[in-house]
Chains A and B, each alone.
Chain A
């Protein structure tokens, strides 16, 4: 008994330590992105080495977790999935009951550290959907789609109630993408999109007043010159004044003179756009597109349904970050708290993104042709 345990353990350790893990193109793209992020942060934070150093430390931590997780085989992740999903959803319930934080109840205080359980769902949500669909006949039946809908809706409702619409959107998208990739019929997708569209007036009714204000100020930024309207106006001035080639590194007057609020976090992409212009914006978006494409490539090569759906959903949800943040900075979408991945200053999102890429690396390492 003990012998077999020991042998299994040994086998497990050998497997974890010996196989090639890393997809080099993806790793290289992430490395470049992190570099761009640190350079932009250096400029946006007025050359604050403390902030750049802190962010770099988080990247190192995230990279360490990436390497660690890349060594866990997807089959093992799959076995853990329901428990991870249940645990992270339970954390959300705990936060809803006794969370702390100004205005929004989204933090859980563990004594040594505070963290946002909603951040975990960004990973456990696509895992759960993939786990559920993995053994089932695909494309999914109505019944299976409904179950997946419920699996998505419960945590998303809890996050939206915190209220943290940005994260709720990211988590919902991650789950929905897994369903989309599983081959759900186009006409059914169309039906659901239409239904969701029809729900918007109802949802509007349930939004907090400040959330409605954010949408309304998008339509008329001058109505709120102290708050979000100010953000939108100043962000567009920053982007627009950048022009084709930008004002140059560390030349963002909008950020330097403090006209642009939140210029190291949610609005850092405006600083980037002002300094590097449309050329820089296109280059960065191409880099993002490459990363997403590479994720989908890894997904196509994956060995089983679970890995395929999970990798694809993670890659596609990366797109939501970029689109929502970019749209917000350009005055196209309302102000919601979605960071620009790897560029915005802030700990949790950078670390949780890299953890997600760790899962992708693991799926890549266990792809079908090499087995």
Chain B
């Protein structure tokens, strides 16, 4: 550098720079001259013309908001409608003192603090001649009272608009969701040009996920206004483009039957068509009335919903996470076959407990004394823990979690609804992020029966069962089947291609697990109490009863009353039918159920029955009432009772 510096002709460079600076400045002056010439052209040459246009400037564009797309079930039953209503709007530029006007108006039409807050936020973001909605959904009484006092408020007008209405209310609250008033955060996020004149935006559910499809494009009209800004006449109108309508793959009748099957007990159910990933029913109990939210929910109503102990606002089907218990066993069995760790005929002796070599603590079977020698089909049928403890150990945690991840456990399924939880798929990787301890072999053992770190959403399990039922071909679950633009007769079906090739390499493996799941219905937990008798198609399924809390003593639970157990258990049932050619897969989960099969099983049966009805068949009348299927309070054992290790999990398995 130093050397090169010495060669630099400093004086010459300085002179060169001076010439350039002068040249540059002359170019700048020339450009400024051009600019001044343009201003001269506008301000002097054409001054008269522009002065005239300025004084006559009375034409303003006004946005016309688009009508929001409607939402239908798969047969065209209306789920979300637009209904006319009236609201108060204020034109800010005509208000001398906003606070005084609001105070005065408040004596005529009651204004809530929520209304005023939302109004002020929107006011700050609006042009002064754009009217801003103040109070939505006026009652007739309010309209009348305002009409009498109209003369006192020249800046306020009662304006008709379309508001959202959900005719079926709570039934689809967790699927369709609701729209609510645009707030300050939304204004940051939304394109102001697209939302001119629009007061509502999709907040939850499909209303949110498909906002872009449902919203449409605003139109505008050029209106001539007088000096007070009042419209004199409309010169030109470009109509808005309404949003597209949505068609769900859910059938209202199935959704109703599924909801009814819960009888108000908290839980969730999902039914999916394994052939294409279409969601046929998606229910989360308890639910709420989405209509409350549309025009601003009152503080008291919101508090009641938000503070309710059974959390009706939570979408249990996709946000709630629960230990899956034995429902993971068929998937694990399939993994054992696919990895070549097990052959179908390999047997395991179940003695009632399984001990890791070198460890004192043992893991229990559900049946005292064990199920004896079981092969894979029998192990699925009897839900034999020892078989799956060993299988999990032989697979190892890495292969186990890798295999299970292919069914979207521990990841979002990609359903077209917002807010899905990922759940937890036990793995070394997950544990290293959440614990300072390494992975213990005992954790692999209990992962084999869906306990330990495991957490799944009902949707994830439904998706997994559907993927299995569809011979391993994975589809993303889809609630919306088709869209239809306004004025177009034909629905546009939404493509939902499989997300990959079949997960199953050897088709024979599928048959083995299918055999085991059929046996559950004919001879295993699902056969009790006639839950599935009389159904015209072959059903394959699996129950699961997961502990809500870990045990603190190694004794068998001696209190076997249903109420006592229900407080401790999550009840699951997963099934698909017809087993030869599966067309529907369903999962039901009760947050407080004593036994998977006895409590969640009947819900799945009712889902299948309603599906039959829709297929044009009638449900067989001879369904045993579920009350009879409940185990007697003092029944000794239930083969479906999976358990945590005999030792409390809080003390851990120890390194």
Contact = CB atoms under 8 A, between A and B. Distances in A.
Interface string B1-23: 10011011000011011111100
Contacts of B121: none
B139 to A, nearest CB: 33
A312 B191 CA distance: 40
Nearest to B218: A226
B556 interface: no
A160 interface: no
A188 to B, nearest CB: 13
Interface in A127-146: 135-139
Interface stretch (B42-50, B74-82, B361-369): B42-50
A20 interface: no
Interface stretch (A35-43, A198-206, A322-330): A322-330
Contacts, number: 152
Given A225-B222, A243-B44, A259-B57, A296 B39 contact: no
A316 B24 contact: yes
Nearest to B229: A257
A273 interface: yes
B38 A332 contact: yes
A137 B7 contact: yes
Interface stretch (B26-34, B105-113, B470-478, B512-520): B26-34
Contacts of B191: 102-103
B188 interface: yes
Nearest to B220: A226
Given A226-B63, A330-B38, A183 B50 contact: no
Given A102-B191, A180-B20, A258 B129 contact: yes
A237 B32 contact: no
A281 B36 contact: yes
A225 B42 contact: no
Interface residues of B, number: 50
Contacts of A180: 20, 24
B128 interface: yes
B60 interface: yes
Interface in B173-193: 188-191, 193
B360 interface: no
Nearest to A326: B35
Nearest to A236: B42
Interface in B122-162: 127-129
A237 B60 CA distance: 14
Contacts of B613: none
A166 interface: no
Given A241-B54, A300-B21, A278 B13 contact: no
B254 to A, nearest CB: 41
B51 A278 contact: no
B21 A330 contact: no
A244 to B, nearest CB: 6
A155 interface: no
Contacts of B49: 240
A45 B93 CA distance: 13
Contact of A240 (B5, B13, B21, B42): B42
Interface string A326-348: 11001110000000000000000
A181 interface: yes
Interface in B454-495: none
Interface string A256-281: 01110100000000000100011001
B269 to A, nearest CB: 38
Contact of A243 (B13, B19, B51, B190): B51
A168 B7 CA distance: 36
B61 interface: yes
Nearest to A260: B57
B61 A226 contact: yes
A327 B138 CA distance: 49
Interface centre among B35, B53, B188, B189 (most CB of A within 10 A): B35
A254 B55 CA distance: 9
Contact of B24 (A103, A177, A238): A177
A95 to B, nearest CB: 17
Interface in A216-249: 225-227, 230, 234, 236-244
28 contacts: A102-B189, A135-B8, A136-B4, A180-B24, A182-B20, A226-B61, A226-B193, A239-B43, A240-B47, A241-B50, A243-B43, A253-B55, A258-B129, A278-B36, A278-B39, A289-B28, A289-B32, A292-B25, A293-B25, A296-B24, A296-B25, A305-B17, A308-B14, A312-B17, A312-B24, A316-B24, A322-B35, A323-B35
Given A102-B190, A238-B54, A277-B43, 6 more contacts: A241-B53, A254-B57, A258-B129, A273-B43, A278-B39, A316-B24
